[in-house]
Chain A
Amino acid sequence: NAGVMQNPRHLVRRRGQEARLRCSPMKGHSHVYWYRQLPEEGLKFMVYLQKENIIDESGMPKERFSAEFPKEGPSILRIQQVVRGDSAAYFCASSQTGPNYGYTFGSGTRLTVV
């Protein structure tokens, strides 16, 4: 059981470039969540997806950010035209049946915008 796999672990992008963060949930988990964490801060919810569906994107900035969880392949969090303020750790989590059971988090992607 490989757990939740995120890649890359570290990503450096210049301002204006695109960042693509990938997340493969645990085997058997169909619910995927993306959270952002700034240094010394808590976890801020961004988006909740199930296969081919966005269930809740209330935490996603309206511009430049998008997420998908296709029928085949990992979930992708995409940030277009990155700015320095996007620098953060992005964690993906998965669960089997929703929020009423514990999440399994991936190791995260540390995004640095230079």
Chain B
Amino acid sequence: GQQVMQIPQYQHVQEGEDFTTYCNSSTTLSNIQWYKQRPGGHPVFLIQLVKSGEVKKQKRLTFQFGEAKKNSSLHITATQTTDVGTYFCAGPVKTNYGGSQGNLIFGKGTKLSVKP
């Protein structure tokens, strides 16, 4: 079945270092979404990418959607302790006829820890 994979599973960085997480889908996606979950919290929507090759920035966060619309990345520049959490990518489930089914399939996430 359709899968969304993320690497790495864990990343430990020193505060001020950069961080990147990668997301790969087994199928092309109509869009990809990124979420952040703080420890003990709930997932919070960060951004959605729709176009092939799209790049979006939110302050120190840069999101990219691959040309083939099967992969994506999230890069954080100069991490801070407030960046701690698990970052999930997600894409709509495809139906047999190629449309989006109506729910999101999530990757297993990359857990980021930041040492001050």
Query: Is the Cβ of B48 less than 8 Å from the Cβ of A101?
Result: yes
| Contact partner, A42, options B100, B102, B106, Cβ 8 Å | B106
Which of B12-20, B38-46, B54-62, B70-78 contacts its partner? B38-46
Query: Is the Cβ of A42 less than 8 Å from the Cβ of B107?
Result: yes
Q: A99–B33 Cα gap in the complex (Å)?
A: 10
Which residues of the partner chain A approach B92 to less than 8 Å between Cβ atoms?
99-100
Query: Is the Cβ of B43 less than 8 Å from the Cβ of A43?
Result: yes
Which residues of the partner chain B approach A93 to less than 8 Å between Cβ atoms?
43
Query: Is the Cβ of A91 less than 8 Å from the Cβ of B102?
Result: no
| B82: interface (CB < 8 Å) | no
Residue ID in chain A nearest B45 by CB atoms: A102
Q: Are A104 and B103 CB-contacts (below 8 A) given A42-B88, A43-B88, A99-B92?
A: no
- Interface size of A by CB at 8 A reads 25
Q: Are A102 and B48 CB-contacts (below 8 A) given A42-B109, A43-B106, A45-B104?
A: yes
Q: A102–B111 Cα gap in the complex (Å)?
A: 21
Q: Are A48 and B108 CB-contacts (below 8 A) given A43-B88, A91-B42?
A: no
Residues of A within 8 A of B (CB): 31, 33, 35, 40-45, 48, 55-56, 91, 93, 98-108
15 A-B residue pairs with Cβ-Cβ distance under 8 Å, sorted by A, are: A31-B102, A41-B108, A42-B106, A42-B107, A42-B108, A42-B109, A43-B106, A56-B101, A99-B92, A99-B102, A100-B31, A100-B100, A102-B47, A102-B48, A105-B35
